């Protein structure tokens, strides 16, 4: 029989930090959930690309945005702002950055397993 499981981002299982941001990770119910905080001035291509070593973010995200505004530009040039209270599906192949002076906080239910972790060598 499965057991009830409750965890909190107040006590994450792992924290990954990078320039102008961090990701706090918890594993619950067999899923890895991440809460990302991006400070004003954060941009994936400047803050995480040197770690990931890919041309664009290859992590797909299924996320709920708690605060701030983030602009996402897909590799095909499509751009969209995501704001607090919105849910977004962001496929692989994008850049993103904080718009304005408010930190962006998102809870990501899919794309954080390898986020801000150096890509495996082939």
Residue 120 has pLDDT above 90, yes or no: no
Answer yes or no: is pLDDT of 122 > 50.
no
Distance CA 88, CA 70 (A): 11
Domain boundaries, given as residue ranges, for the chain: 14-108
CATH class of 14-108: mainly beta
Task: Give the tens place of pLDDT for each residue, 51-96.
Answer: 999 999 999 999 999 999 999 999 999 999 999 999 999 999 999 9
Q: What is the mean pLDDT of residues 40-55?
A: 96
Q: C-alpha 96: how far from its chain's center?
A: 10
What integer is the mean pLDDT of 22-40?
96
- What is the residue whose two structure tokens read 């792992």? 14
For residue 29, count CB atoms less than 10 angstroms from its CB and return exposed for 0-12, middle for 13-18, buried for 19 or more.
exposed
Task: Give the integer Cα–Cα distance in Å for 104 and 100.
Answer: 10
Tokens of 113: 């397993």
């Amino acid at each position: 029989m499965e057991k009830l499981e409750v965890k909190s981002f107040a006590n994450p299982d792992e924290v990954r930090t990078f320039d102008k941001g961090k990701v706090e990770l918890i594993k619950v119910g067999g899923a890895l959930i991440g809460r990302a905080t991006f400070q004003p001035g954060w941009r994936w291509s400047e803050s995480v690309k040197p770690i990931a070593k890919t041309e664009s973010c290859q992590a797909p995200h299924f996320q709920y945005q708690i605060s701030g505004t983030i602009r996402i530009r897909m590799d095909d040039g499509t751009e969209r702002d995501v704001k607090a209270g919105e849910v977004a599906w962001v496929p692989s192949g994008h850049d993103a950055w904080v718009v304005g002076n408010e930190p962006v906080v998102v809870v990501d239910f899919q794309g954080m397993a390898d986020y801000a972790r150096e890509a495996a060598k082939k």
